[in-house]
Amino acid sequence: MKYIDIINESTQSIADFIEIKPDIAIILGSGLGPLANEIENPKEISYTDIPNFPPSTIPGHEGKLITGTIEGKNVIAMKGRFHYYEGHEMDIVTLPIRVFSKLGIKNLIVTNAAGGIRDSFNPGTIMIINDQISLFCPSPLRGPNLDEFGPRFKDMTEVYSNNLITLANESAKKVGVEVENGVYSYFRGPQFESPVEVRAIRTLGGDATGMSTVPEAIVARHCGMSTLGISLITNKAAGLGANQLNHNEVMETAGHSEKNMILLVKKIIKDWNLQ
């Protein structure tokens, strides 16, 4: 099947199911799933019931779409996302973004758990992503261009919307949640980075590192969507902390800090002046 037909088939099945027109799509990263509990009048659909959506294979990633409202705004949230390291090609990793675009959604919030590279970043730090390093990310735009979404050569100057970065910082201040701003750098995983890889990325300007988000943000930009990216630092990146890294630590820290993430994201959605 051609990729555009795959996109259309998945879109149709979701359109048949949902009763609202979502304005904001939210991707919930590792351990950040509880944000989904904030959705009012929720309606859930399992990935296993959506054609072409693979099931989630990672603990902390449940594998369902939830629609409803947060602070009076219509949202659709992904509890669990697809990663390259699971064996999916980039067209599957980014299929939900194409589908959201087809559903008419113009706004995206991507969240993730990440390793902190900047010295001042500790477990629990929340980082508003202001740019990204995609050097190690196979381009999700490789192959025939999908002209109906965007051009062959797409500008990446505002892969994260400046307006949304401003909104997020203002909302954070109003609600008393401390945030930092910084650059997210992509590694394919699933192995964590080596200490020298972390030092290399620090030299290149990276403040945090992770295994998601960048492919989705590139495709969202290609589709002309406005993206806000938020990283929750769950650990110091390899070589910068005392301990070796493990996924349980990532999940645990995400659990401790979820209150602040929820406060922040709800306030952002409340203050968001949707066009």
Q: Is 212 a catalytic residue?
A: yes
**CB neighbours of 252 closer than 8 A, spacing ≥ 6?**
31, 234
Is 235 one of the annotated binding-site residues? yes
Cis preceding-peptide flag for 190 (omega within 30 of 0): yes
The single residue among 56, 209, 226, 227 that binds ligand HPA, judged by CB under 6 A, is 209
Which of 4-12, 39-47, 52-60, 109-117 is the region at the interface with ligand HPA (rule: CB under 6 A)? 109-117
User: Vertex 195, ends 189 and 198: CA angle to 5°?
Assistant: 70
Verify binding: residue 113, ligand HPA, rule CB under 6 A. Answer: yes
Is 83 one of the annotated binding-site residues? yes
Q: Is 247 a catalytic residue?
A: no
Is 187 one of the annotated binding-site residues? no
**CB neighbours of 133 closer than 8 A, spacing ≥ 6?**
183, 184, 185, 186, 201, 204, 205, 206, 214
The single residue among 213, 235, 257, 260 that binds ligand HPA, judged by CB under 6 A, is 235
Verify binding: residue 253, ligand HPA, rule CB under 6 A. Answer: no
Which of 11-19, 62-70, 168-176, 231-239 is the region at the interface with ligand HPA (rule: CB under 6 A)? 231-239
> 185 and 229 in contact (C-beta within 8 Å)?
no
Is 30 one of the annotated binding-site residues? yes
**Least Cβ distance, residue 190 to ligand HPA (angstroms):** 9
Residues near ligand HPA, by CB under 6 A: 113-115, 187, 192-193, 209-211, 234-235, 237, 245, 250
Binding site listing: 30, 61, 81-83, 113, 193, 212, 235
